[in-house]
């Protein structure tokens, strides 16, 4: 036999043998699913809710315009520390100062008139007392003259003189009483004029005081929107006055963050939190939750989610949560962007698995896996039976031999990458963790082949 013919026969035999091997391998691996796995382990788990917001002081005050005028001087700048009573800015005070001086002069004149009226009243009191004394003396003289005249001991002219003196004393007393009443009214009027002048002066002084703005609290000047030369107007009715500046008390600093509605039910007062501020890289601040909002806020519009505003919208909602920072640095400023990681739960030595390993299957799928080729749904099936078939069950695929067995599980808290298992698994169980596409379609009881090299390659590249 020629050499070429031998080579051709050998090559044909090799091709046939290779085809047989490939077909055999295909038949063996037909229906086998390649998966990645991991072991069920015990480890500490911490459930975290992450939310973004901004740094805010617990106490702050907005300085608003209280009077009319033009800003002539701003004594502070943003970032300055101030104490109660420190001067912040001035507005034009020429006219208010002149009004105060004029009113002070008016008050001094009113006080002088009041003093004169008081002196006149006191003189009228003394005059009245003197007239009362004169009347008593004239009355006694007249009564004595009446007795003497009746006994014919004095002449009628003397009797008439005594009576005239008595009548004159009575008239003088009435005149003194009238003068006293007049002086009393004059004194009261002068006193009221003094009070009125003092009230007007207090008003003018208040207007002058409002030309100098002072710090109402201790803190830092966090915002100044105005400039020298701008006009200031006071608030009227429902309109606020000119916004001049904000002073923030940074002794108690909070982070106000917006938490998604799906996480808000897990938050409580007193939960610890770690806060990071964009302006302070590589620094973690510690805090505790002090307030959990009860009113939902629309994420896009920022409005409160009331029945009227949300009647025809499916906009996402957030809730405001306040975290008090326990160790605020001096460099912290209001308005800085921040992120809070709030610890909502913690488990020591918890039985845990990767979150992606948790799958959901319907009762119908589980029944079909247990009894292949049969159908649990009949024409006579009731609505309750149909609902039971559609019921979703949470579980994981446990590796048993070369099969992926679906095991229902109960879960607890969720960590960053792992989730707690409270029932259904034990430490050391090997479970299917990937890939994601495989877990979506993997059928209970499917034949599997474990290949974790892909997961290791992905982890190393990441």
Query: Per the domain annotation, does 103 fall within a domain?
Result: yes
Burial category of 277 from C-beta neighbours within 10 Å (exposed 0-12, middle 13-18, buried 19 and up) = buried
At residue 433, the pLDDT reads: 92
Burial category of 395 from C-beta neighbours within 10 Å (exposed 0-12, middle 13-18, buried 19 and up) = buried
Q: Do 330 and 387 fall within a single domain?
A: no
At residue 460, the pLDDT reads: 46
Query: Per the domain annotation, does 220 fall within a domain?
Result: no
The residue range of the domain holding 99 is: 95-209
Give the residue from 345, 372, 400 where a domain finishes: 345
Cα distance between residue 110 and residue 189, in whole Å: 10
Query: Per the domain annotation, does 227 fall within a domain?
Result: no
Structural contact between residues 153 and 187, judged by C-beta atoms closer than 8 angstroms: no
CA distances in angstroms from 263 to 63, 266, 342, listed in the order given = 37, 6, 11
Q: Do 321 and 417 fall within a single domain?
A: no
Query: Per the domain annotation, does 383 fall within a domain?
Result: yes
Query: Per the domain annotation, does 457 fall within a domain?
Result: yes
Give the residue from 287, 312, 345 where a domain finishes: 345
Cα distance between residue 330 and residue 251, in whole Å: 9
Query: Per the domain annotation, does 27 fall within a domain?
Result: no
DSSP category for residue 207: H
Q: Do 373 and 328 fall within a single domain?
A: no
At residue 94, the pLDDT reads: 92
CATH code: domain of residue 187: 1.10.287.620
Query: Per the domain annotation, does 364 fall within a domain?
Result: yes
Cα distance between residue 448 and residue 435, in whole Å: 12
Structural contact between residues 305 and 355, judged by C-beta atoms closer than 8 angstroms: no
Q: Do 332 and 368 fall within a single domain?
A: no
Structural contact between residues 36 and 454, judged by C-beta atoms closer than 8 angstroms: yes
Q: Do 272 and 307 fall within a single domain?
A: yes
Cα distance between residue 189 and residue 117, in whole Å: 9
Cα distance between residue 106 and residue 109, in whole Å: 5
Q: Do 290 and 355 fall within a single domain?
A: no
At residue 349, the pLDDT reads: 92
At residue 41, the pLDDT reads: 93
Q: Do 398 and 376 fall within a single domain?
A: yes
Contacts of 88 (CB under 8 A, 6+ apart): 63, 74, 75, 76, 82, 213, 214, 215, 221, 244, 245
Give the residue from 329, 345, 361 where a domain finishes: 345
Q: Do 102 and 159 fall within a single domain?
A: yes
Q: Do 102 and 197 fall within a single domain?
A: yes
Q: Do 375 and 328 fall within a single domain?
A: no
Cα distance between residue 176 and residue 186, in whole Å: 15
At residue 387, the pLDDT reads: 65
Q: Which residues of the chain have pLDDT under 50?
A: 21-29, 379-380, 459-462
> How many Cβ atoms are within 10 Å of 242's Cβ, its own excluded?
20
DSSP category for residue 342: E
Query: Per the domain annotation, does 142 fall within a domain?
Result: yes
Structural contact between residues 377 and 364, judged by C-beta atoms closer than 8 angstroms: yes
Cα distance between residue 408 and residue 421, in whole Å: 10
Cα distance between residue 22 and residue 14, in whole Å: 12
Q: Do 102 and 199 fall within a single domain?
A: yes
Q: Do 308 and 320 fall within a single domain?
A: yes
Q: DSSP of 383-410, one letter per residue?
A: HHHHHHHH-EEEEEEEEETTEEEEEE-E
3-state DSSP of 123-151: HHHHHHHHHHHHHHHHHHHHHHHHHHHHC
Question: 203-236 burial by CB neighbour count: b if 16+ within 10 A, else e?
Answer: ebbebbebbebebeebbbbbbbebeeeeebeeee
CATH code: domain of residue 389: 2.40.420.20
Residue 330's φ and ψ, nearest 5 degrees, are -65, -25
If one counts the domains in the chain, the total is 3
Digit-coded pLDDT (tens) for 417-438:
899 999 999 999 999 998 888 8
């Amino acid at each position: 036999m020629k050499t070429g013919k031998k080579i051709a026969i050998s090559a044909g035999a090799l091709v046939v043998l290779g085809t047989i091997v490939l077909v055999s391998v295909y038949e063996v691996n037909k229906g086998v699913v390649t998966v990645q796995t991991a072991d069920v382990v015990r480890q500490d788990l911490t459930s975290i809710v992450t939310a973004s917001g901004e740094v805010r002081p617990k106490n702050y005050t907005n300085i608003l315009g209280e009077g009319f005028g033009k800003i002539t001087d701003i004594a502070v700048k943003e970032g300055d520390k101030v104490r109660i009573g420190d001067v912040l800015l001035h507005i034009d005070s020429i006219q208010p100062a002149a009004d105060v001086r004029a009113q002070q002069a008016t008050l001094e004149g009113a006080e002088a008139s009041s003093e004169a009226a008081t002196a006149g009243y006191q003189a009228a009191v003394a005059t009245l007392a003197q007239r009362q004394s004169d009347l008593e003396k004239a009355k006694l003289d007249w009564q004595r003259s009446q007795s003497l005249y009746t006994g014919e001991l004095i002449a009628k002219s003397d009797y008439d003189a005594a009576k005239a003196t008595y009548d004159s004393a009575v008239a003088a007393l009435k005149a003194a009483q009238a003068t006293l009443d007049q002086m009393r009214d004059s004194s009261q009027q002068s006193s009221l004029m003094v009070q009125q002048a003092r009230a007007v002066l207090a008003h003018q002084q208040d207007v002058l005081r409002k030309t100098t703005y002072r710090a109402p609290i201790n803190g830092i000047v966090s915002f100044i929107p105005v400039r020298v030369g701008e006009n200031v107007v006071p608030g009227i009715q429902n309109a606020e006055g000119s916004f001049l500046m904000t002073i923030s008390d940074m002794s108690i600093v909070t982070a106000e963050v917006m938490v998604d509605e799906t996480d808000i039910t897990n938050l409580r007062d007193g939960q610890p939190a770690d806060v990071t501020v964009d302006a302070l890289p590589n620094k973690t601040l510690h805090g505790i939750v002090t307030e959990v909002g009860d009113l939902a806020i629309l994420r896009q519009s920022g409005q409160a989610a009331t029945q009227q505003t949300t009647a025809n919208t499916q906009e996402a909602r957030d809730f405001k949560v306040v975290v008090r920072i326990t160790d605020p640095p001096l460099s912290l400023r209001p308005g800085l962007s921040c992120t809070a990681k709030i610890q909502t739960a913690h488990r020591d030595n918890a039985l845990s698995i990767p979150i992606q390993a948790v799958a959901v299957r319907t009762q119908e799928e589980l029944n079909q896996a247990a009894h292949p080729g049969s159908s649990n749904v009949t024409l006579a099936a009731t609505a309750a039976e149909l609902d039971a078939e559609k019921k979703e069950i949470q579980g994981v695929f446990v590796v048993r031999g070369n099969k992926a067995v679906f095991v229902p599980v109960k879960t607890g808290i969720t960590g960053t990458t792992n989730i707690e298992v409270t029932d259904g698994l034990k430490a050391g169980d090997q479970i299917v963790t990937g890939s994601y596409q495989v877990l979506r379609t993997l059928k209970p009881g499917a034949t599997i082949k474990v290949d974790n090299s892909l997961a290791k390659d992905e982890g190393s590249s990441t």
